[in-house]
Amino acid sequence: MLADMHTHSFFSPDADRGADIEKMSLRAAELGLGILTVTDHCDLNFRFSESEYAYPDYLLCDRDMFGSLGYALKSIETVTALKERYPVLRCGIELGQLVQAPDTAADLASDPRLDFVIGSLHMNHGKTDFYWIEYNKMDSSKLTALLDAYFEEQLEVCRTADFDVLGHLTYPLRYIVGKYGIPVELTRWEGIIEDIFRALIGRGKGIEINTSGLRQEYGRTFPDLGLVRLYRQLGGEILTLGSDAHRIEDIGSGLQAGAELAKQAGFDYMTVFTGRKPEFVKL
Ligand SMILES: [Zn+2]
Ligand SMILES: [Zn+2]
């Protein structure tokens, strides 16, 4: 059985407008997936006005409201209502920048309707999304400083925040390596990555193999085989697989390859979550 533990519906403002949760569920069933977890965005560092807490009209969605709380809550409400009709569905959320708004993060993560919480970092504190940065205009010391800050904030997330798995570790490489073709050697960050893994393991949390990189220029998973193996060697057990699909066609994409990679890294099981409790499924 394969489980896609990381997908986005149209309640994520960067997702395809056609990514309707019912259609996503039907697609998952067609693919034979055992579980489809919808994990819409809520990027916590954005400041929310009162009106953003209201039910948003996704059809007229304002793209500047990326990852707003209103959308996230609507996603949770919709998935929860559909779970009975589509048993494949699980209700998740992808919380971005947890330590940049720790109280809101803790509040959201404690929502009893959630089956699964991904903790992600899409932008360093006070900076723009890694997506928007022009890495070709940065010299190597600036790039190093950016990655220093990235891994340091990830470590703080892993030591303090409430979530189940760390989302797409090494995400900036999607752009630095994949889009801009700038090679990055991770040796400098091996120590802090070990600290990240030890913090996760110590707190009963895990990582995901995010397969989105396999269908993008980067061509590898986030994180890649070397780091998944390191996580395993340090005693890591909780490992989910997620396509990070933002459109229906990408649901389940790369999961088979992700499962093979997990086996190569020394895993016999992958993890799924229901009611925020891990369950181990043979690979
Ligand atoms: Zn993400
Ligand atoms: Zn995502």
Q: What is the pLDDT of residues 148-197, one digit of tens each?
A: 999 999 999 999 999 999 999 999 999 999 999 999 999 999 999 999 99
Give yes or no for residue 63 having a pLDDT over 80: no
Q: Note the pLDDT of residue 68.
A: 66
Of the pLDDT bands very low, low, confident and very high (cuts 50, 70, 90), residue 64 is very low
Q: What DSSP string runs through 114-148?
A: -SEEEEE-SS-TTS--GGG--GGGS-HHHHHHHHH
Q: Which ligand is nearest to the CA of 43?
A: 1
Read off the pLDDT of residues 213-271 as tens digits, 9 standing for 90 and up: 999 999 999 999 999 999 999 999 999 999 999 999 999 999 999 999 999 999 999 99
User: Residue 250 corresponds to which amino acid?
Assistant: D
Q: Which ligand is nearest to the CA of 7?
A: 2
Among candidates 269, 277, 257, which has minimal Cα distance to 232?
269
Q: Which ligand is nearest to the CA of 12?
A: 2
Q: What is the mean pLDDT of residues 134-154?
A: 96
pTM value is: 0.93
Q: What are the structural domain ranges in the chain?
A: 3-282
**Average pLDDT over the chain, rounded to whole?**
91
Amino acid letter, 186: L
Fold of 3-282: TIM Barrel (3.20.20)
Q: How many CB atoms neighbour CB 207 within 10 A?
A: 26
Q: How far is the CA of 118 from the centre of ligand 1 (A)?
A: 9
- Alpha carbons 253 and 242: distance in angstroms, whole number: 8
> Cis omega (within 30 of 0) on the bond before 223?
yes
Q: In what order do the strands lie in the sheet with 116-120?
A: 3-7, 35-43, 89-96, 116-120, 165-166, 206-210, 239-242
